[in-house]
Amino acid sequence: MSDHSAALRGARLLVLNWRDVRHPLAGSAEQYMHEIGKRWVASGADVTWLTAAVPGQPAREHLDGLHIVRAGGPMSVYPRVAARLLTLRGHFDATVDCQNGTPFFSPLFAGRRAPIVQIVHHVHQDQFSTHFSAPMAALGRWLEKRAARWAYGRRPIAAVSPSTRHELRSRLGYRGPIFVVPNGTIPLPAETTLRATDPTIVVVSRLVPHKRIDLLLGHLGTVADEVPGLRVEIVGDGPERTRLQSLVHELGLHSTVTFHGRVSDEARDELLARAWLTTSTSQAEGWGCTILEAAAWGVPCLALRVPGVRDSVLDGETGWLVDESRDLGSALVRALRELVDPVRAEAVADTCRTWAGCFSWDRSANLLAGILHSEMARMREATPDQSVEHREARSDIAVLAVSDQRQPDVQARLRAVDEVVHFGDRTAVMLNGCDEPAATAVLMRVGMQATSLQLVDNRLILAGPAAPLSPDRALSELGLDTV
């Protein structure tokens, strides 16, 4: 794979995020940028992270090579960052603007020619009313939609899933380039221990309203009656924990459900290694980080078919998707009964591990670096370079081209946002912004002869050339066995 992260060597990069990984409410959005940022630092970039202050945490801190600067509270962090951007104009080579519902509006303060790439995990239009009064929720929706669309214009966006990209188009109306840069996940365990004797569901989640753990609890009474010996282990903490524990006692589930709170990664992995199944009842996600962490341990997921989660779970392969919440209990019973068969359980576990193995933080860092590098180059040009190959199709379309001959120098002739992977004597290229005719023209210009061309589906968009194509047809059939 081409190393776009190395192209950032010596660059001064600024990250804007309302939280950092030390924040008590930090989640997958903070982990995403932290994992990518520390890899950029390892490649030689200088990365500064502006974020909100946290009681008990220093105003400045070096963490995994990143310069963390904390100031302001949950809302006041936005004007504090705006003021700092005005004073730091020209100091940084590029800005990564992480939008978590409330935008930083960085183009207004960093300058018209400042290279800026937005990171969007999911669209918050439906969640504002869950957390705020009606007037404040209306303001939040306006800021995320019309105000942000005006401020950021056609600057590039990195979305973590096809679901998020779709909502950015359909609900927020963005028309600029949107690239999918998925989350990485934990490395595949070298060894997996035997699963628990009793049917065991392990849920790893922040205990917050939109995760809707209460919905799961409401169905467990029926499931426990149908599945003898059922155990449910809930890992994670949050403001909903006390209410959820009370609900468990009200439902008479105290012998079935255990709350572990926030635990170490090692303790989490011990629980996942013994799980039969994990679940997600979330209202919506950008991506199911905990779903892929479970999949790395060979644990399938039963989930509601909602944005983000429907991308993380391959329905019928790495788990099962449920359309209606009222059917959750019966679906859990069916899944657990299916997994009683050790042969079936191991086949599902193998597919889960294969899917999880397609995702890595190194690849995520490389893909985002390519977008950032491309935007830095674009902003350096006073006028567009007409000699650069032009693509008519939107960035939402992509084509996978495979050549039976290794093409060692092809990346230098392609866009930085294209992904190139070499497999032995073969080369696979993901061309963004192309349909098949456009891809053919691009390949002719760069002198690459392709053995096969195909429009990519969501699976290939997410996992790239390493993605399995279907349960019984993997890329090994195309001769692409390993990266």
Looking at the predicted structure, is the pLDDT value of residue 28 above 90? Answer: no
| pLDDT score of 26 | 87
Predicted pLDDT of residue 80: 96
Choose the CATH number for 5-180 among 3.30.230.10, 3.90.950.10, 3.20.20.140, 3.40.50.2000.
3.40.50.2000
**In terms of DSSP bridges, do strands 426-432 and 398-403 run parallel, antiparallel, or are they unpaired?**
antiparallel
Same-fold call for 200-356 versus 389-478 = no
pLDDT at 472: 39
pLDDT (tens digit, 9 = 90+) per residue, 95-122?
999 998 899 999 999 998 999 999 999 8
Q: Once rounded to an integer, what is the mean pLDDT over residues 219-245?
A: 94
* Predicted confidence (pLDDT) at residue 221 exceeds the cutoff of 80: yes
* Stated pTM of the model: 0.89
Query: Which positions ≥6 away from 437 have C-beta within 8 Å?
Result: none
CATH of 389-478 given 3.10.350, 3.30.70, 3.90.75, 1.10.3470: 3.30.70
In tens, the pLDDT along 44-89 reads 999 999 999 999 999 999 999 999 999 999 899 999 999 999 999 9
Q: What is the pLDDT of residue 1?
A: 53
Percent over 70 (pLDDT), the chain: 93
pLDDT at 477 exceeding the cut of 60: no
Of 239-253, 431-445, 454-468, minimum mean pLDDT range = 454-468
pLDDT score at 133: 86
The mean pLDDT value of the chain amounts to: 90
Q: Is the pLDDT of residue 389 over 70?
A: no
Residue from 22, 23, 39, 21 nearest 31 by CA? 21
Task: Return the beta strands (E) in 32-184 as ranges.
Answer: 46-51, 60-63, 66-70, 94-99, 116-120, 157-159, 178-180
Q: Which of 150, 189, 470 is nearest to 353 (CA)?
A: 189
Give me the pLDDT at residue 468, please. Answer: 52
Contact partners, residue 227, CB within 8 Å, separation at least 6: 199, 332, 333, 336, 337
What is the per-residue pLDDT for 278?
97
Q: Dump the DSSP string for 270-304.
A: HHHHT-SBEEE--S--S--HHHHHHHHTT--EEEE
CA distance 27 to 121: 11
Identify whether the C-beta of residue 19 lies closer than 8 Å to the C-beta of residue 34. Answer: no
Report the range of poorest mean pLDDT among 73-82, 392-401, 410-419: 392-401
- Tell me the average pLDDT across 273-283: 95
CATH of 200-356, one of 3.90.79.10, 3.20.20.70, 3.90.1150.10, 3.40.50.2000: 3.40.50.2000
Residue 159 has pLDDT above 60, yes or no: yes
Task: For the chain, give every domain's residue range.
Answer: 5-180, 200-356, 389-478
